[in-house]
Amino acid sequence: KTEASLMSVLPPTLKTDQNQISSSENGKTRKVAIPATSSSSSLVQSSSSETLNSDADIQKIYDCAKLIRDWSEVSSALTAHPEWLTRIPDNRQWAILHQIVYSGDVKHLDEALSLQATNSDFRLLCRGRDGKTVCEVAAERASIHPTMLQRIERLVAIDELLDNAKSRKWDLVKQFITLQPDIVNEKPPYRRYYLIHHLAYVGQLDVFKDLSKICHFRLDLLAGNKTIIQLAREHNKIAFAEYIESLRTKSNEITEDKSDQTISSQLTGIKYYSSDF
């Protein structure tokens, strides 16, 4: 099996309400414009209903993405309205996301996806009016932009892994990790949790130990600025938290021991070879 074979499930991900700014004066509501500080923020104004949501503005951002120009304006607009990324403008076949994938700029893709962290309606494999997903668009352009297809396929694979973890389908999780152990410490930019956080959340210590036999978990990964141990303790998964603490303590002791051995070998002029290698 390859990563492409793991792309059958449409991954659910993470939504933000649009911000509206107004002020009250003498019982009347007036709009307050936000002054633009640069060209990248020229679309940021007070009334999302009248300005930021207008078809003309969406078309403008769409054209910027399509023609690969003024990326700062695209980024600014998606920051204010992440839902625009998958919205299909009138008289268009694709969403802005399709155009970014078509362009082949993986850096722009990752930036746009990171802005979806608060958008619970976001789906990576959204379809255009022609029925195409971004994976299909990337596949058609693979000869020109192979790294884009690789990135999309990897995101889809990780999404499916994390969906299975969220649904507690541990047998499927193990199958994924067996096929691709290198994705264990990755998550898409729009996701909150890594695999280990899903395990900590429900306290699946036995599953963690089992998976640790076929992959290496990083124990310093953060989710919402919280450590694995903090997350486990917050949900009363004490056994899981204490086990991770013991692993981290052991890891620190090994690191300190190796540092002392390295210093000693340098002082004596004797090259030291660790038995761990």
- Which of the residue ranges 19-33, 184-198, 250-264 would you say has the lowest mean pLDDT? 19-33
On average, the pLDDT of the chain sits at 81
Residue 265 lies in a domain: no
Residue 273 lies in a domain: no
Output the 3-class SS for 20-72: CCEEEECCEEEECCCCCCCHHHCCCCCCHHHHHCCHHHHHHHHHHHHCCCCHH
Q: Is a pLDDT exceeding 60 seen at residue 51? A: no
Residue 69's CB is within 10 A of a number of other CB atoms, namely 10
What percent of the chain is modeled with pLDDT above 70?
Answer: 72
- 107 shares a domain with 219: no
What percent of the chain is modeled with pLDDT above 90?
Answer: 69
Q: Is a pLDDT exceeding 80 seen at residue 221? A: yes
- 137 shares a domain with 254: no
Residue 89 is predicted with a pLDDT of 94
Residue 250 is predicted with a pLDDT of 84
* Total domains present in the chain: 2
Global pTM? 0.71
Residue 111 lies in a domain: yes
Q: Which residues, 6+ apart, have CB-to-CB distance to 262 below 8 Å?
A: 272
DSSP 182-236: GGTT---TT-S--HHHHHHHHT-HHHHHHHTTTS---S---BTTB-HHHHHHHTT
- 114 shares a domain with 28: yes
Q: Is a pLDDT exceeding 80 seen at residue 22? A: no
Residue 43 is predicted with a pLDDT of 37
Residue 252 is predicted with a pLDDT of 72
- 252 shares a domain with 156: no
- 198 shares a domain with 81: no
- Which of the residue ranges 7-16, 126-135, 250-259 would you say has the lowest mean pLDDT? 7-16
Find out whether 101 and 138 touch, Cβ atoms under 8 Å: yes
Residue 31 is predicted with a pLDDT of 44
- 231 shares a domain with 148: no
Which residue would you say has higher pLDDT here, 44 or 164?
164
Which residue would you say has higher pLDDT here, 95 or 6?
95
Residue 147: give the domain boundaries: 3-168
Q: Is a pLDDT exceeding 50 seen at residue 157? A: yes
Which tokens sit at 180? 């691709």
Residue 55 is predicted with a pLDDT of 81
Residue 180 lies in a domain: no
Ramachandran category for residue 149: left, alpha or beta (phi over 0 → left; psi -120 to 50 → alpha): alpha
Residue 63 lies in a domain: yes
Residue 254 is predicted with a pLDDT of 58
- 23 shares a domain with 156: yes
CA 226 to chain centre: 16
Residue 92 lies in a domain: yes
Residue 139 lies in a domain: yes
pLDDT in tens, 224-262: 899 999 999 999 999 999 999 999 888 776 555 555 555
CATH of the domain at 102: 1.25.40.20
- 218 shares a domain with 142: no
